[in-house]
Amino acid sequence: MTIQLAIKRLFDVVVCLIVLILGAPIYLVVAALVKLSSPGPILFVQDRVGLMGRVFRTYKFRTMVGAPDESSVVWSQSDEQRITRVGRFLRDYGLDELPQAVNILKGDMSIVGPRPPLPSQVESYSEHQKIMFRMRPGVFSLAAVRGRRSIPMEERIELHVRYVENWSLGLDAMILCKGLLVVLGRENASETIG
């Protein structure tokens, strides 16, 4: 298991370095589009909970005019209405999460793993649900390939736990391949959380 985890970490670092180097022009174009689309910062920075319950700061390209209520567990209709045209495109194709390559290089995240929740969400987690914190959170997750944002929060958390309990490099490969197809196909791209 230790060797497999080392391989997983090496894969994360190598892929993210390649993405950051070869994708630099894409990052610059997206950053410019975000800046031109509405007033505000280019990046949206938010506290999330990761490995062993540690809080870290995650980075995304800003997709809204203003900022969502960070204490809210559920996206509101007003949050939806504040998404810019550029922001909608970025969300639909997962491009808003490109800056999380930095989180991965720092060791806060992995390419594949449970999605990191807000600290306010974790307050209500059971001990069983907290099993998800035994692995680094990921950009792609089992929940993403099972329904992305269309499935209820409780079911998503259970899928995160199932991922940790059944983790293997083969499972990661399956999630990564299917996850890319889900994002490129814009399946269940709506932000509304049930």
**How confident is the model over 150-190, as pLDDT tens digits?**
788 899 999 999 999 999 999 999 999 998 887 777 655 44
Which pLDDT belongs to residue 131?
Answer: 97
For 115, list phi and psi in degrees, rounded to 5: -70, 140
| Residue 189 within any structural domain of the chain | no
| Total domains in the fold of the chain | 1
Handedness of CA 134, 115, 100, 76 (dihedral sign): negative
One DSSP character per residue, 60-101 reads EE--BSS---TT-SS--HHHHHTB-HHHHHHHHTTGGGTTHH
Q: What is the pTM of this model?
A: 0.85
pLDDT digits (tens, 9 = 90+) for 37-56: 999 999 999 999 999 999 99
Q: For residues 160 and 120, what is the distance between their CA atoms, to the nearest angstrom?
A: 18
pLDDT at 193 over 50: no
Which pLDDT belongs to residue 88?
Answer: 92
Residue 39, Cβ density class (10 Å: 0-12 exposed, 13-18 middle, ≥19 buried): exposed
Q: What share of the chain is helix, strand, coil (3-state, %, to 5)?
A: 55, 10, 35
Confidence band of 149 (pLDDT split at 50, 70, 90): low
Whose CA is closest to 122, among 45, 48, 46? 48
| Residue 190 within any structural domain of the chain | no
pLDDT digits (tens, 9 = 90+) for 60-96: 999 998 655 555 554 444 556 789 999 999 988 889 9
Q: For residues 49 and 17, what is the distance between their CA atoms, to the nearest angstrom?
A: 24
| Residue 9 within any structural domain of the chain | yes
Long-range contacts of 6-15 (CB under 8 A, 24+ apart): 7/169, 8/110, 8/169, 8/172, 9/107, 9/110, 11/111, 12/104, 12/105, 12/110, 12/111, 13/104, 13/105, 15/111
Token pair 């944002």 is found at 149
> What is the average per-residue pLDDT within 104-132?
96
| Residue 172 within any structural domain of the chain | yes
| Residue 191 within any structural domain of the chain | no
Whose CA is closest to 111, among 125, 97, 123? 97
Structural domain for 118, as ranges: 2-184
* More confident call, 188 vs 36: 36
* More confident call, 79 vs 30: 30
| Residue 50 within any structural domain of the chain | yes
| Residue 192 within any structural domain of the chain | no
Q: Which residues contact 186 (CB under 8 A, 6 or more apart)?
A: 92, 93
- Token couple for 187: 């399946």
DSSP strand pairing (110-112 vs 55-61): unpaired
Which pLDDT belongs to residue 76?
Answer: 47
> What is the average per-residue pLDDT within 130-140?
97
Confidence band of 57 (pLDDT split at 50, 70, 90): very high
pLDDT at 9 over 60: yes
